[in-house]
Chain A
Amino acid sequence: MVQQRWVLLAFILPTLLFYTYFFLMPVTSTLIDSFHEWDGISDKVFIFLENYITLLQDPIFYKSLVNTLYWVVLVIVLQIPIGFFLAYFIYQKIKGFKFLRTVYFIPVITSSVAISLAFSFIYEANFGILNSLLKLVGLDHLTTAWLTDPITAMTAVSLPFVFNYIGLMMVILFAGLQSIPDELIEAGEIDGVNALQKIIYIILPSVRNVLFICLVLGISYAFKQFDYVLLLTNGGPVHLTEVTGTYMYKQGFSQSNYGYGNAIAVTMMGIVIVITLVINKVLKPKD
């Protein structure tokens, strides 16, 4: 048995060492480097909280944070509600629901690059779908270069992100709906509630926990999924579509300001972890 104990180490150590070296150490490096000034070449200079103090006074960082929070808002007002209603309608076993569910999930498994390219076709100024459709119905004056027009750019670059994860929200909520006991819904029907009341008073409270999970997930995606901004606008025009992720990326790889970039990274981590903890806390007593 003593020998078997040693065998156990053989199961644990390779993975643990790999994970420590290639995952946990980078996490600590991010933290440590955020207290330094570093251009990636010369020696790191310890400046303690200076990066964070600069961050707090950086208008572009605030702009990027506001834009990221705009994504969080879109998660709440578009992604989750659309995901919920799709799940709810499919849950009612409408004809062809399996096929519909399959199709709805396609964007979730598609790469951000492919989705970006598809949306760049939609937004393209000359032959893009959107402008073509507008011309078709005689609304020529509404056509614009969606991704560079300061008024439309931020929303235009956000929609692919919303589109990407609606299907994921749907399947999570669908799983939640399936776990509602039939008696509960029947009891409501006996009490004579109408369709809307049924959703508000029976369905939504029953999937409350799952809705919170969608919220946590959506917020974490809003902070980490900056591929779309990188690919479609690269933060432009003039930082109008900058999100925290792209700002971090640029501080490091285009400005060689790695310490500052890491400070943004740590701030992002902090926000996501705090939000996750708070929502978990809110959720716990009712579990």
Chain B
Amino acid sequence: MNDDNGLAAKNVNNRLPISSGLGKFFKYLLVWGYFFITFGLFLWVLMTSFKDNSEIFSSPFGLPSSFDFSNYIFALTNVNMGLYLWNSTVVTVATVLLCLAFGATISYALARFEFRGNMLVYILFVIGLTIPLQSLIFPMFFKMDDIGIRDSLLGLITVYTALNLPKTVFLLVGFMKGLPKEMEEAAIIDGCSYWSVFFRVILPISKPGLATAGILVFIAAWNEYVFASVLISSDIAKTLPLGLASFQSSQLSEYGLIASGVILSIIPVLIVYVIFQEQIIKGMADGAVKG
């Protein structure tokens, strides 16, 4: 029996490469073709960011003649990219912190306690996951206008926090439900209040879950465009995506400058991605699969 299996497996191994000659071609074409498109595009924008217009026209695909940072310096100082970068950082960091604070507290209650309405509250957040967020754009606009924080970083932070809460709560409830209960129970028997259990036990052991949720919110807030374009009208409150988009219309012919803006906007999120990539990939796949 064992022998038979071994023989059959060997046969297959012999047969596979022949029958999949075309398959192999397709495989390498796709794997490297798509690699070339993604990586090539990134490299090309990077190279372009070091060139001036005359060089872009004379050698669009070549290496830049020198690594000249003048496009970056011009972008950061003369066209306010420095300010936009700062605004994006403030909005993103505040959104992440608020989402985690709001998300962790309610998730602890939902994951660990049985009370009337528990399921209902949880479902309200799950419904939030299925709604295409962009369809909330009009009421969000008027609500922010009514409160008087529409055209401000505070308004953006509020909207982004609200929009990202469903997925934060969903991920954190899932994570906290999977945690072992022994430590908490011991702490409660020792006479700790729920607050100290939350701060001393739950938060420390939830770090991986908080990190995943935090990173996903970070990426979403850093890259968001549609809501920002509607809410923000004054230059002083613009975030990077907005700055970049207005760049495209105002500096239309300065390709090197636009490319430097694109690179500036990608780099922070790329750094976060390279550091946390396992967590990001897993978090996104989990969020999607379980959502």
Contacts and interface: CB of A to CB of B under 8 A. Distances in A.
Q: Do A and B form a real pair? A: yes
A118 B262 contact: yes
Contacts of B162: 18-19, 22-23, 26
Nearest to B132: A224
Interface stretch (B70-78, B179-187, B205-213, B283-291): B283-291
A261 interface: yes
Contacts of B280: 105, 109
Contact of B289 (A16, A101, A213): A213
B57 A269 contact: no
A265 B273 CA distance: 33
A262 B16 contact: no
A19 B124 contact: yes
Nearest to B110: A12
A110 B269 contact: yes
A107 B38 contact: yes
A33 B139 contact: yes
Contact of B133 (A18, A24, A224, A230): A224
A217 B288 CA distance: 7
A223 B285 CA distance: 20
A8 B113 contact: yes
A273 B106 CA distance: 25
A7 B195 contact: yes
B288 A168 contact: yes
B134 A190 contact: no
Contact of B136 (A26, A40, A116, A193): A26
A65 to B, nearest CB: 14
Contacts of A94: 27, 31
A248 B135 contact: yes
| Size category, B interface | 35 or more
A127 interface: yes
Nearest to A13: B106
A23 B128 contact: yes
Interface string B140-164: 1111000000000000001101110
Interface residues of A, number: 93
A30 interface: yes
Interface in A48-91: 82, 85-86, 89-90
Contact of A195 (B23, B102, B222): B23
B97 interface: no
A162 B138 CA distance: 27
B192 to A, nearest CB: 11
Given A26-B143, A106-B38, A121-B255, A112 B225 contact: yes
A253 B134 CA distance: 13
A224 B121 contact: no
B134 A224 contact: yes
Interface string A161-180: 00100111001101110000
Interface of A: 4, 7-8, 10-12, 14-16, 18-19, 22-27, 29-30, 33, 40, 82, 85-86, 89-90, 94, 100-114, 116-118, 120-122, 127, 129, 132, 163, 166-168, 171-172, 174-176, 186, 189-190, 192-196, 210, 213, 217, 220, 223-224, 226-227, 230-231, 245, 248-249, 252-253, 258, 261-262, 265-266, 268-269, 272-273, 276
Interface of B: 5, 8-9, 11-12, 15-16, 19-20, 23, 26-27, 30-31, 34-35, 37-39, 41-42, 44-45, 48, 56-57, 60-61, 102-103, 105-106, 108-110, 113, 115, 121, 124-125, 128, 130-143, 158-159, 161-163, 165-166, 169, 193-195, 198, 219, 222-226, 229-230, 240-241, 244-245, 248, 255, 258-259, 261-262, 265-266, 269-270, 273-274, 277, 280-282, 284-286, 288-289
